[in-house]
Amino acid sequence: MSEAFDLSKLKKSSVRGGAITLVSQAASVILQLASTIILARMLTPDDYGVMGMVLSFVALAALFKDLGLSSAAIQKESLTFAQQSNLLWVNALFGLALTLLFAAAAPLVAWFFGRPELLGMTWVLSITFFLTGISAQHNAMMVRKLHFGRQAIVNVASISTTFVTSFLLAGLGYGYWALGWGYVAGAIARTGLTWTLSPFHPSGWKRGVGTMEMIRFGANVTGFNFANYFSRNLDNVLIGKFFGADALGVYGRAYQLMLFPVQNLLGPMNAVTYPALSRLQQNEQKWKSYHLKSIKVLASMTMPFAAWAYLIATPLVLIALGSQWREVATIFQILALVAFIQPCLSALGMVLLSRGKSRIYFRLGVFNAAIYSIGFLLGSLWGVHGVAYSFVITTYLILFPSLKVAYWGTEVRVLNFFEATAFPALASVGAVLFTFALSALPTLTPILTGGGWPELIGRTASVAMFGLATVCLTKSGRATWREFRTLFLELSRSRS
């Protein structure tokens, strides 16, 4: 199954796919935020803490469920049917092994946190590894073939299944089990729909088809993910171990409310840009142009969102979650500083993988994980807030080294990255300062600092006004608007 992509077809597919994926991702974000808000009023911080404790270890085991073979299948310029069938059987075998090993390790998880109820929860969640293993290549084929509409159906349906299951069980008083069984139900729905909608139908194992080369590529991706685990989950492990389930529940809600929507904007961008950049890897100029435009689009979406979230943290948390979650607001605001730059930083991984530099990708992951781990360990000396602030500091510390490594050997320079992100960054900071200035005016102070719906609406309006003025009155703003307008016009032409 060799594939030829002309640039015109790739551009149209990327534009159409980006629009479909963004719309579906917006629906996913709305569903998951609605789930967070509704379930937070039905369950306790301890319930979320129990789930978070198990998920911190699920994330560790989950690093190996795919073995990086989905990335290998998407990146490879010429992929045969036999190669992908072999990858499926490797994924299925390791998925089953992980299910059995994780179930066997359940007593260790319960012992580590000192919570006996984690035993049953760990057994239940172990099922998801096998489910993911048997569907990984089916999903990779949908990404490779740019079947974004089918992926959208899978994502929205699985999230809806998780929410409905958790909601019904929470209403029946099942506590943390509502979250656990909802997680499993969503995985079952995802696997079933992926098998149904994917164009991939595997055959048996075949020798001598070049599978080992792809496994080696995947091994480096898995190595990166293993190192990256510590920068994404060590904070949860430390908080759960030393500060308890309530503290982890608060931190987890803040993390989900702040970083989840931002990272879900990164997801659709990667889903579109990774296969596109992989096809353009032999054309340096087009590859550079495509990458920098994608970074600018990503920054234009995520940086203003982070600035807005920083401003409305307290009223949003109190309105959405209730007064029992008040502590979430401060951590939410701290994590907004991470969300400001992390999506663009995370997108650098696509730079290395699209060029086949999986070994450098792995080494960069090890370096970044070491910095994050040291930061989290030091930050934990100052409690939950110390962990959150360490997340901010280490994220900005690794930015420049990551850029240097990612762009080494390409025509992209570090300065190009900052040029692409300069306007959205300055506009976002300007919106924050503008809102603070308005808050100091005697007539507006009661509205913009008084809490509740008035503060939420007032600060949102302030950010929107500043953004609109920036787009209309500055050269860079008008240029950015023209780029977005061109994107939608191209979308219309590609559909017609």
Residue boundaries of the structural domains of the chain:
7-495
Q: In angstroms, rounded to a whole number, what is the distance separating the alpha carbons of residues 437 and 447?
A: 13
pLDDT at 496: 36
pLDDT tens digit string along 261-282?
666 667 667 766 777 787 777 7
Q: In angstroms, rounded to a whole number, what is the distance separating the alpha carbons of residues 288 and 281?
A: 9
Instruction: Name every residue whose Cβ is closer than 8 Å to that of residue 130 and which is 6 or more positions away in sequence.
Output: 92, 95, 96, 98, 99
- Label residue 246 by pLDDT band (50, 70, 90): confident
pLDDT at 13: 53
**pLDDT of 331 higher than 90:** yes
pLDDT tens digit string along 109-140?
899 888 898 999 999 999 998 998 888 888 77
- Residues 371-389 have a mean pLDDT of 93
pTM of the model: 0.67
Burial class (CB in 10 A: 0-12, 13-18, 19+), 70: buried
pLDDT tens digit string along 47-65?
988 898 888 888 776 666 6
Nearest to 395 by CA among 437, 330, 335, 465: 335
Q: What angle do CA 298, 261, 98 make, to 5 degrees?
A: 105
pLDDT at 454: 94
Query: pLDDT: is 491 or 151 the higher one?
Result: 151
- Label residue 3 by pLDDT band (50, 70, 90): very low
> Across 181-190, 291-300, 314-323, which has the greatest mean pLDDT?
181-190
Do residues 1 and 203 lie in contact, with contact meaning Cβ atoms separated by under 8 Å? no
Do residues 24 and 151 lie in contact, with contact meaning Cβ atoms separated by under 8 Å? yes
Query: pLDDT: is 290 or 148 the higher one?
Result: 290
pLDDT at 492: 42
Can you read off the two tokens belonging to residue 247? 């503290």
pLDDT at 209: 65
Mark 232-242 as b/e (b = at least 16 C-beta within 10 Å).
ebbbbbbbbee
